[in-house]
Structure 1
Amino acid sequence: MKQQILALGLVTGAVLFTVESAFAQSRKCAPRTTIVERLAETYGETRQSIGLATNNTVVEVFASADSGTWTITVTNPQGVTCLVAAGRSFETLNEAPTPASLGEPT
């Protein structure tokens, strides 16, 4: 599941940074320390996974095992972090990876 979420984050991050600058200005962004502190204090979320995306951007997944909330962020090389997606019902899975060509298990 972590790999799937990270893959989603990487794809989302790549798409996110290719949109027009007007859209980029409307996203919820702040210095990374501000975002990380707010996720921890408000939602009890901690970093669950991390990956490097295009343009040296860092994609991170934060989540809380207690509340089940999760957030995907993208941080640019200047240290500005933007919220990409958030939701509920986060679960950590220990599944063996399967090739994408096999699709979902039956």
Structure 2
Amino acid sequence: MIRTTTTALALALMAGAAGAEPAQQCSEHDAMARHLAENWGESRKSVALDAASSMVELYASEETGTWTLTVTSPGGPTCMIASGHAFEMTQDELPVLDEGA
């Protein structure tokens, strides 16, 4: 499960860094989660803390393929930082790095 959510989060972060149009919408955390569920059918798929102790969450709909990446600063609002389509949950195994032993 950890590998799956890590992979999904990494893919979302790369997509956001690669030029996806960031949605500059912020609101209270519960209101944001409700908005994403009601309007896009998205639910939280992963959660992590970044270096600044901000909470980074990936919401997605496996039915429609939409996804949204949010960041919540400690004590602050939740803001959408990237969104897109073609979300797919994966369960990739780690590659074998030691071929000798």
Q: TM-score, normalised by structure 1?
A: 0.70
Counterpart pick for 1:4 among 4, 7, 16: 7
Q: Does 1:48 align with 2:45?
A: yes
Q: Give the SS at the match of 2:52.
A: helix
Counterpart pick for 1:61 among 58, 78, 100: 58
Do the aligned residues in 2 keep the contact of 1:10 with 1:59 (CA within 8 Å)? Answer: no
CA distance in 1: counterparts of 2:14 and 2:90, whole angstroms: 21
**Higher RCO (CA-CA < 8 Å; seq separation 6+):** 2
Equivalent pairs: percent with the same residue? 37
Aligned length: 88
CA distance in 1: counterparts of 2:51 and 2:9, whole angstroms: 14
CA distance in 2: counterparts of 1:27 and 1:62, whole angstroms: 16
Structure 1, unpaired ranges of 5+:
16-25, 100-106
- The residue type paired with residue 7 of structure 2 is Q
Q: Supply the RMSD in Å over aligned alpha carbons.
A: 2.7
- Runs (4 or more) in structure 1 with deviation over 4 Å come to 8-12
Q: Give the SS at the match of 2:79.
A: strand
Q: TM-score, normalised by structure 2?
A: 0.73
Q: Structure 2 vs 1, CA of residues 8 and 93 (structure 1 numbering), >3 Å: closer, same or farther?
A: closer
Q: Residue 27 of structure 2 aligns with which residue?
A: 30
More helix, by proportion: 1
Structure 2, unpaired ranges of 5+:
18-22, 97-101
CA distance in 2: counterparts of 1:9 and 1:91, whole angstroms: 11
Q: Structure 2 vs 1, CA of residues 55 and 10 (structure 1 numbering), >3 Å: closer, same or farther?
A: farther
